[in-house]
Amino acid sequence: MSELDTSLSLGQRIRELRFSKGMTQIELAKGLCTPSMVSQVESDRARPSYKVLVSIAARLDVPLEHLLNGVSFDLENSSKYKLAKSMVQAKEYKTAIPLLDDLLDCMAYRIPKESLLLELVLCHLELRNIVEAESKLNQLYQLANNSQNDRLLAVVLLQLGKLAALKCDYPIALFHTNRAWEELQTIEEIDTDLQAKVTMQLASLHERVGKVAEAGKFYERALLLHQHNAEERGKTYLRLAEVYDRQKKYEQAQEYAMKATVLLEEQSTNEHRQEMQRRLFMLQRDSSDWNKSVPILLSIAEQYEQNGKKQKAGEVYADLALSCLENDEYDEAWAFAEKARMALPDTDSTMGKVHRVLSFVYSRREDEKKGKRHLENAVKIFEQHGKIAELEAVTLHMCRYLSDKGEHREAFERMEAFHYYLIKQLEQRGIVL
């Protein structure tokens, strides 16, 4: 079906697609559901679950959006809401938004407006739809104030903090998140889960503005709130390890990294396990047996590629390139950096790390032109993404390079430019020197 026929129901659309593929109902159902279920879905007598819809779309070789776009659901509002929520849980945000919008427009009976708005806010924040998220949050803020619902107000303030962070307005993000914490203290019934979310956001925000010691205190507080959640405790231990590593408190970093490693085995999904493994190996990359982590990281990158997650694979290749560079394995560093370049978008923040590695490699090979070009690219990317620590490192490297070449004036100008950039960034983050 090359063109979308918006007059068809969901069942009719599935049947037409099946006919176009020359498939029987038995062939479509095989391994997914019963042929009887397919028959009921195609005749619009059954309400397909999200899982079944995903499987049918894959079997028919069409995007899920193509299957749902323009379809008039002959479902009760409660069923449509459950379908939309399952899509949000599966991170199918683009597909969930039209369903939630429809429910909001018709003011679905028994589905609270704030519940629909909160689901929409989550979708828009995850998709970085700033304007839409802000609009829905403003509506929620009014609802929370009018109903004097303290818990809802705390949730809204937490999301307003997240929205401000996406806009890189960290003073406002901290203001809203601190207000969320204050609201939680007024609620008689303790909501440990929400308290943990607010505490983690406060920790993350303090880390982003460079207050790593404060961030560590909030992560420590979050550990107490994650007593019965092994997965969240593991993530928090890892964040603490990274915070202490940044403060050069290596003994504490190692201790928390080991605790994270123990809990890593209990993680519920393979993807979580892989991501935590990657970050743990990067924390331990200066150890004498760093090369033992290389085949494991390489295996993670290859699994990401096999699962179609090209960008995640690129991030792992960039980590491998940096590890090899720091251990004087220049040819391997170059090879992994090139693999990362093939997988990552040119403007991705990780590309700054890749260009930095390549600049060192080409400088080592005495190819000054390429080395300088990659170093300049690293500077641009770190500036665009506000990566101050990384920008300082490459700026110092660039200035040393220029000084060695006798270009002292340019070295001074670059250092001065970095100084002004640093002052501006700190002011934006609410820090005035």
Dump pLDDT digits (tens) for 247-287.
888 788 888 888 887 776 655 556 666 666 666 666 665 55
pLDDT of 157 reads: 96
Distance CA 382, CA 397 (A): 14
CB 14 within 8 Å of CB 40: no
Distance CA 307, CA 15 (A): 29
Domain residue spans of the chain: 1-74
CB 24 within 8 Å of CB 17: no
pLDDT of 74 reads: 46
* Average pLDDT rounded to a whole number, residues 103-128: 84
Dump pLDDT digits (tens) for 359-418.
889 988 888 889 889 988 988 898 888 777 778 878 887 788 778 888 888 888 878 887
Using 50, 70 and 90 to split pLDDT, how confident is the model at 334?
very high
pLDDT over 70, % of the chain = 86
Closest CA to 37 of 60, 14, 16, 20: 14
Output 284 or 176, whichever has higher pLDDT.
Answer: 176
Segment (H or E) for 166 = helix 150-166
pLDDT of 1 reads: 45
Distance CA 63, CA 73 (A): 18
Range from 91-105, 165-179, 405-419 carrying the lowest mean pLDDT: 405-419
- CATH architecture, range 1-74: Orthogonal Bundle (1.10)
Task: Give the ranges where 307-407 is alpha helix by DSSP (H).
Answer: 310-326, 330-343, 350-364, 368-384, 388-404
Output 40 or 85, whichever has higher pLDDT.
Answer: 85
Dump pLDDT digits (tens) for 131-157.
999 999 999 999 888 888 888 999 999
Predicted TM-score (pTM) of the model is 0.63
